[in-house]
Structures are given as C-alpha cells and as structure tokens.
C-alpha cells in the first residue's frame, strides 16, 4: 500500500559544472552528492503533503531521485564525442560514483544516533526529465544529446531562436573571425538540423558536435543502458529516430533496449507530432503546389489563373487559392481539411476578400490588416506558418502580389502601362491613379 501513495522527490546535479582540466572533478562531485542527498531528505521532512496517506508513505520509505543533467555539455568540455565508446565508459563510471556515494550518505544518516526516526532511503537515484530546470541552469537536458546546436523553441512566452553557447564559442574559434562563414554555418544548421554535410568544417569538429539526430539509435540505447546499471529507479531518455523510421527499425530499438537491461523506453520519431517544443527553421509557405494553372471556379462560374498554397495553421493543413488575371489578385478561396466553425470562418474570409477585390479594394490592405490578427493555437504550434489563419492568408496574398506586380511598373487590364510612380485611391468604387488618371474601371 505504501507504493500507492509514494511521492516524487527529484533533484539533478549539473555535471557540466564538475569539469576540471578536461576531466570530471570527483572531489567536487562528492561534495555535491553529499549536499544533494541531505537536501532531498530535508525536503521529505519539511514538505506539506496534500493527504495523510502521502505524508505517511513518503516519510516511511523516504524515496528520493538524485540524477544528473548537463551530461552532453560535460562531454564537450572534455572533448569527448557523445557517439563514442569513451562516452559510454564515462557514463557508467560517473553514475556508479554518484549512486555509491548517495547510498553511503543515506546509510550514515540512518545510523546517526541523534536522529530518532529512520533516515534510510528505500531508493536514491533516478534520472528524471530536466527540460525546464536545464534551461534555467543553462545545461543540456539530463543525459540527452543536444537536440540541435541552433533551434527554435516555442513556449508560453512565444518563439525563441537559440544557439548553443558551447557550439557558438567553438565555431567562432573555428571560423577565425570570418563572420560570413560563421553566419552561413549557423543558418545551415538551423535549417537542416546538422553540420555533418558541411565540407568547410574539420571532421573532428563535426564528430564532437554531432547532435541527437546525427547519433544512431543504437548509441542512444547503449547510453541509456550504461547509466541504468547504476541507477536505482528508471531513466528519462529519448531514442530519437528520423521521420523515415520504419516499424521494423522501431521494433529493433525496443528489443535492443530490453536486451540491454533498460527499465523503460521512450521513442520519438521526428515530426510525428504537430506541436513540438523544439524545431528547426520552417518556410513561411511550405509548398507552392503550382504557379500558373487553369482551374474551374464554381463561385464565379468562369475559368481563371490561380496560385495555390498548401500551408499549416494551429489546427492543421489548409489551402489558400488565389485567383488572378496575370496582373493582380482578383479572388481568393480558403479551404481547410476539417468541418465546423473554423472551416466556415475560412470560407467566409475568402468570400469577403473576394468581394472586396471585386470592388477595387487594394489587396495590400488585407495583408496589412491580417498581420495584426493573432491566435494562441497557431502561435503555439511549430508547424503553423503564421500567427493565425488570417495572418497566414495575408502572407500568401502578399507573396502573390509580389509575384504578379513587379515594383517597376503596374499593368492594368487593358494592357496599357500606368505611370512609373502610381498612387491609387478609391473613388466611386474604382481604383484610380492620382498621378496619371488610369483606372481599373476604364
């Protein structure tokens, strides 16, 4: 019954702060483990529990979960690649040291004659997920390899562009003040998620800075197994797989983890969820399916040229279909994958814009106004191509305008050229240039 009411009492040591002369400073680590075990035990006694059953079980078994974070950062500081046998040896050695020392401290607390109640811990070590606290500590998460050296992170505060500090420092030294080269590598890493294909970086540099997706699944499993040997409870470790991973490959990973003695397993196939906390750079418009086509328009009962954009919002895929006369947008349709309120609003938005365009409202007005519309669902979805469905539609409309109307000249329907400095106003439902007098209604 005690197991049913146990509470979670976790703490993580930042291993990156325990590196001295390119090696682990075990004297400092010993002191940290001593303090950590004592601190977590004090938490058990000082904590206020919501239920008496939890209070009793927590103080009876005194379970704590001391683990680590910043492991990949520590390896980099030591010059050891994550994907190496040396890294596996370090993982096993350092976790054995932490686990053994934690048990020694627990035993000494239990034997203390000045403490009346039992202070022995039923379990002491566990490697928990450290997503938020590792960000606060400025360390790599848990025992995970770094996701990517340059990435976009989304949280409740918005979108953040992040460059890993150790990578940034090493890359600047490698580029030797060549700012152009540095920026090119940063951009490439952000867009593709790797530096392994770059020929202008030395092999040793690329091996040291292999990220989570560069490291084979077999090494992910071996690393978890190396730590598991000296951990009382379980381990939080993600086995990162590419989006192309097959069922057979996933089956093999599960089997290898079981055979290696891992107590649990997390597999993540990249891109399998729409809303991901960490992501690479994405294009504003994912896929311009076609440029000039003939498409049947049931609403206008005539044929027209159109540009079709396949995009993503906070709720999923949708299409923005912009009809034009080879000079400027004349109508727009917004079609979503689903049904209901959002779908109806998309259709209404398209019809409203089309009506405005028919009566001469400049398409640029919609681009400007829609960019002000924000939707938290879209802003919190890494696949979303903008801040809202309206914002995304405006972006597509703006792209079509640039494609159809070069800045040098403006072409009107009767194929006559307008002046070199057109300035349009709306008069009587017509769009008229105040400089040359040309009108879309003439």
Q: Is residue 322 part of a domain?
A: yes
Residue 348 lies in a domain: yes
- For 204-258, the pLDDT digits (tens) are 999 999 998 899 999 999 999 999 999 999 999 989 888 778 889 999 999 999 9
Co-location of 49 and 126 in the same domain: yes
- Structure pTM? 0.64
Phi, psi of 351 (to 5 degrees): -65, -40
Cβ distance 150 to 188 under 8 Å? no
> Into how many domains does the chain fold?
3
Asked if the model's pLDDT at residue 282 lies above 60, the reply is: no
> Has residue 99 been placed in a domain?
yes
Q: Please, are residues 306 and 324 in contact by the beta-carbon 8 Å criterion? A: yes
235 and 317 fall within a common domain: no
- pLDDT tens-digit map of 375-395: 888 777 767 788 888 888 988
More confident residue, 403 or 294: 403
Distance CA 113, CA 400 (A): 80
Can you give the residue range of the structural domain that contains 186?
150-199
In a domain, 419, yes or no: no
Rounded Cα distance between 247 and 253, Å, is 10
CATH of the domain at 21: 3.20.70.20
More confident residue, 129 or 88: 88
Residues 127, 67 contacting (CB under 8 angstroms): yes
Is residue 257 within 8 Å of residue 149, measured between CB atoms?
no
Same domain, 122 and 250: yes
The pLDDT assigned to 378 comes to 79
Same-domain status, 48 and 96: yes
In this structure, the answer to whether residues 325 and 390 fall within a common structural domain is yes
Is 356 a domain residue? yes
In the prediction, which pLDDT does 286 show?
Answer: 37
pLDDT at 283: 43
Residue 415 lies in a domain: no
pLDDT of 231 reads: 95
Q: Chain-wide mean pLDDT for the chain?
A: 82
Q: Domain end: 227, 249, 273, which one?
A: 273
The candidate with the shortest Cα–Cα distance to 433, out of 361, 441, 424, 405, is: 424
Question: From CA 292, how far away is CA 270, in angstroms rounded?
Answer: 34
Considering the chain, what percentage of its residues have pLDDT values greater than 70?
A: 78
Separation CA 289–CA 311 (nearest Å)? 10
* Residue 294 scores a pLDDT above 60: no
- For residues 398-421, one letter each, b for 16 or more C-beta atoms within 10 angstroms of the residue's C-beta and e for the rest, the string is bbbbeebbeeeebbbeeeeebeee
- Domain identity same for 75 and 176: no
- Same-domain check for residues 179 and 102: no
155 and 141 in one domain? Answer: no
Q: How confident is residue 14, by pLDDT bands cut at 50, 70 and 90?
A: very high
Give me the percent of the chain exceeding a pLDDT of 90: 42
Which among 42, 229, 194, 51 has a CA at the least distance from the CA of 119? 42
Smallest Cα–Cα separation from 83: which of 225, 218, 274?
218
Same domain? For 366 and 391 the reply is yes
- Kindly indicate the confidence band of residue 89, based on its pLDDT and cuts at 50, 70 and 90: very high
| 66 and 159 inside one domain | no
Contact present, 412 and 440 (Cβ < 8 Å): yes
Whether 220 maps to a domain, the answer reads yes
Q: Clarify whether residues 346 and 265 are in a common domain.
A: no
Residues 92 and 13 in one domain: yes
Question: Which range is most confident: 194-198, 223-227, 419-423?
Answer: 223-227
Answer yes or no: is 279 within a domain: no
């Amino acid at each position: 019954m005690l197991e049913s009411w146990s509470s979670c009492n976790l703490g993580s040591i930042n291993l990156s702060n325990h590196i001295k002369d390119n090696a682990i400073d075990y004297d400092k680590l010993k002191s940290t483990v001593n303090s950590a075990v004592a601190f977590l035990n004090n938490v058990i006694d000082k904590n206020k529990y919501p239920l008496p059953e939890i209070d009793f079980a927590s103080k009876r078994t005194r379970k704590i979960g001391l683990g680590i974070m910043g492991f990949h950062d520590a390896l980099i500081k030591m010059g050891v690649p994550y994907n190496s046998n040396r890294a596996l040896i370090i993982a096993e050695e350092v976790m054995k040291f932490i686990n053994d020392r934690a048990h020694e401290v627990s035993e000494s607390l239990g034997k203390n004659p000045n403490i009346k109640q039992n202070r022995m811990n039923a379990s002491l070590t566990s490697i928990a997920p450290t997503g938020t606290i590792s960000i606060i500590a400025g360390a790599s998460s848990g025992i995970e390899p770094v996701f990517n050296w340059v990435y976009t992170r989304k949280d409740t505060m918005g979108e953040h562009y992040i460059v890993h500090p150790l990578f940034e420092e090493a890359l600047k030294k490698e580029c030797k003040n060549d700012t152009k080269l540095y920026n090119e590598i940063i951009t490439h890493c952000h867009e593709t998620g790797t530096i392994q294909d770059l020929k202008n970086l030395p092999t040793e540099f690329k091996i040291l800075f292999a990220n989570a997706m560069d490291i084979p699944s077999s090494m992910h499993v071996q690393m978890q197994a190396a730590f598991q040997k000296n951990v009382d409870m379980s381990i939080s470790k993600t086995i990162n797989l590419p989006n192309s991973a097959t069922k057979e490959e996933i089956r093999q990973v599960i089997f290898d983890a079981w055979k290696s003695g891992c107590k649990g397993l997390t597999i993540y196939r990249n891109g399998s969820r729409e809303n991901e906390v960490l992501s690479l750079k994405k294009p504003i418009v994912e896929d311009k399916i076609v440029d000039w086509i003939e498409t049947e328009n049931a609403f206008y009962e005539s044929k027209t040229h159109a540009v079709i954009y396949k995009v993503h919002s906070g709720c999923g895929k949708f299409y923005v279909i912009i009809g034009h006369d080879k000079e400027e947008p004349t109508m727009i349709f917004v079609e979503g994958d689903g049904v209901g309120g959002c779908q109806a609003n998309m259709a209404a938005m398209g019809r409203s814009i089309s009506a405005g365009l028919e009566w001469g409202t400049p398409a640029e007005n919609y681009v400007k106004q829609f960019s002000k519309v924000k939707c938290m669902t879209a802003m919190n979805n890494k696949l979303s191509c903008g801040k809202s469905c309206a914002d995304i539609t405006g972006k597509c409309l703006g792209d079509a305008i640039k494609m159809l109307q070069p800045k040098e000249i403006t072409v009107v329907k009767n194929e006559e050229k307008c002046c070199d400095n057109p300035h349009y106003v709306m008069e009587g439902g017509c769009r008229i240039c105040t400089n040359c007098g040309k009108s879309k209604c003439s």
